[in-house]
Structure 1
């Protein structure tokens, strides 16, 4: 398999919100899981009926004679819809870890009850997709062109002929905007978006946001660095373009910002540093990419990393550059950063 970082840059022009998603050695190790089968999740199904119309974030309007029943979605989108009572037949994208457990992007879904069409970057079993007789394909997009996330360039034309697609943008907008759009999509598919569970989650998200705003205001001098680790490079994300970082910044969080020139090679998303230069930026808190294709803090052995003031102070927390876009799943993301700011000391 070609180096996934190069693949992402050449075929998408970007990396997903702030990280080095799917680095070659890690992706290869994930194995080919798309041969495993599973039935559909019977937790819930669309309750609406009649004609269905939805205008997505590309400006594309999809019209069907009835509400989609056979839904195939990017794993993170499927996980968000699951929280709103919508089940899917198949998924593509990070779904299983190497030990067979649900990937972080699978949320609360029972992954044994969905057909996994591809578990890593570049995998998408078109024949199995066709066999599901899909009514619609749902995913996100991470660029201004509306490129369908995790739909391979090599097979996108074949995939497009089998069912229309809908994309929710996760590009250059704030988290709350994408959350609202996913809620709209769930509602159109028959999800119960007025249930106590959903309204409570939205309230908790708003309360967490107020808490983060207060924490950032109380400690404006604390600097937060958004990082992602690979075997060869450490990626420092800029706060622009990433929906979570843009939202946190709007609430007052003080982020380390690589220069535009430094981010140029990363499509505007990040600056790549060698491990020898991982101390280029001073930071009091480090929030680290939690996706399975990246190296997690506990597994980083580089001595330069261990010497960082934030690491030595234990002021490192996780970050989800591709958050599951339901209010329930995003509450913890905001709360965790608020708590880190509240407890952190100035160490840089």
Structure 2
């Protein structure tokens, strides 16, 4: 975590002193789109209860929002533009990480790009009014470091959106509700058009369940192949709720997946394999170098397709994902 000694000392000796210091010498952040919009939001009381059961009540609608990249991407597509992000948003090439969606990373501050990186001093200097992050565990904000969470929570209110146990449709609706409370017009033409695309693609996906394809959800690492359950993560739960036949592995204590050695990659039979295409996971060609994986019937038949896990929860991004998935599953067939 890139935080100066001055930042730590200031945080420890009193938040008020730190905010005063930041106001004098902190870095500036992008301003709201117009002064009129800012004034209108400031005049509108804000009330929101997040998925921790935490009620946030403010005299005006927060405009200076900092968000974990997944939350930032969802809010951005609903018309709410955070001033800073944390979590994977920039690839080594300098291009946007797909997890940050349509967010213009040249127009937002970066507080950290990898796990456990959050620049607390810079966060304080931005004078944020609200922090937003998703959650896999009820009281744990995704990508907010455990070691600095207490200081971060003192700077501004935070809102957590639970992912576990919900499908993508439900999570998108949650972000839409939050965006509306933050002043967005969630019935704007570009959003309603994307929602129509999304719903049409979801209907096509549901029709494909009639093919009876057995689908395995995997993520690869150098030492293991992880088979995911469809019950926990919104991305996969949506597929199960749409009627697709998903392999249900014997999950570990965390309940999300079953780790298998590559020698045991053939434990489950599947007609189709959907693999985690995030940058931190092994790519398909790397997985094919594992002999047992390469011999799987689905791999031999070419019925292995990418699925971007942690796709931003907006109608725009999920319409794209589902349309691609429908095209892939549409050309797949049952294996002998």
**TM-score relative to the length of structure 1:** 0.83
Give ranges in structure 2 of 5+ residues lacking alignment: 2-26
- Relative to structure 1, the CA distance from residue 42 to residue 163 in structure 2 (aligned partners, 3 Å threshold; closer, same or farther) is closer
Question: Partner residue of 2:198?
Answer: 205
How big is the shift at 1:152?
0.8
Question: Partner residue of 1:59?
Answer: 53
Alignment map for 1:173-322 (pairs within 5 Å): 173-217=166-210, 219-220=211-212, 222-259=213-250, 263-265=251-253, 267-300=254-287, 301-322=289-310
Distance 1:79 1:247 in 2: 19
Distance 1:293 1:210 in 2: 31
Alignment partner of 1:117 out of 106, 111, 114: 111
How big is the shift at 1:38?
8.9
How big is the shift at 1:304?
2.4
Q: Deviations over 1:203-248 (max 9, x none)?
A: 111111110111112x12x111111111111100011111122221
3-state DSSP class of the match of 2:134?
A: strand
- Relative to structure 1, the CA distance from residue 271 to residue 53 in structure 2 (aligned partners, 3 Å threshold; closer, same or farther) is same
Question: Is residue 2:328 matched to residue 1:323?
Answer: no
Q: Please tell me whether the aligned partners of residues 41 and 88 of structure 1 are also in contact (alpha carbons under 8 angstroms).
A: no
How big is the shift at 1:324?
0.6
Q: Please tell me whether the aligned partners of residues 227 and 258 of structure 2 are also in contact (alpha carbons under 8 angstroms).
A: yes
Larger Rg computed on CA atoms: 2
How big is the shift at 1:306?
2.1
- Relative to structure 1, the CA distance from residue 193 to residue 314 in structure 2 (aligned partners, 3 Å threshold; closer, same or farther) is same
- Relative to structure 1, the CA distance from residue 224 to residue 238 in structure 2 (aligned partners, 3 Å threshold; closer, same or farther) is same
Question: Partner residue of 2:17?
Answer: none
How big is the shift at 1:154?
0.6
Distance 1:102 1:335 in 2: 22
- Relative to structure 1, the CA distance from residue 165 to residue 347 in structure 2 (aligned partners, 3 Å threshold; closer, same or farther) is same
Q: Please tell me whether the aligned partners of residues 38 and 114 of structure 1 are also in contact (alpha carbons under 8 angstroms).
A: no
- Relative to structure 1, the CA distance from residue 280 to residue 248 in structure 2 (aligned partners, 3 Å threshold; closer, same or farther) is same
Question: Partner residue of 1:101?
Answer: 95
Q: Please tell me whether the aligned partners of residues 43 and 87 of structure 1 are also in contact (alpha carbons under 8 angstroms).
A: no
Question: Partner residue of 1:166?
Answer: 159
Question: Partner residue of 2:321?
Answer: 333
How big is the shift at 1:291?
2.0
Distance 2:145 2:101 in 1: 23
Distance 2:33 2:275 in 1: 33
Q: Deviations over 1:62-83 (max 9, x none)?
A: 1111111111000111111111
Question: Partner residue of 2:13?
Answer: none
How big is the shift at 1:340?
2.3
**TM-score relative to the length of structure 2:** 0.86
Question: Partner residue of 1:74?
Answer: 68
Q: Aligned-pair RMSD on alpha carbons?
A: 2.0
Question: Partner residue of 2:9?
Answer: none
Question: Partner residue of 1:139?
Answer: 133
How big is the shift at 1:39?
4.8
Q: Please tell me whether the aligned partners of residues 86 and 112 of structure 2 are also in contact (alpha carbons under 8 angstroms).
A: yes
Question: Is residue 2:333 matched to residue 1:345?
Answer: yes
Q: Which moved more, 1:242-251 or 1:203-212?
A: 242-251
Distance 1:270 1:43 in 2: 43
3-state DSSP class of the match of 2:222?
A: coil
Q: Please tell me whether the aligned partners of residues 38 and 112 of structure 1 are also in contact (alpha carbons under 8 angstroms).
A: no
How big is the shift at 1:132?
0.6
Q: Which moved more, 1:303-312 or 1:127-136?
A: 303-312
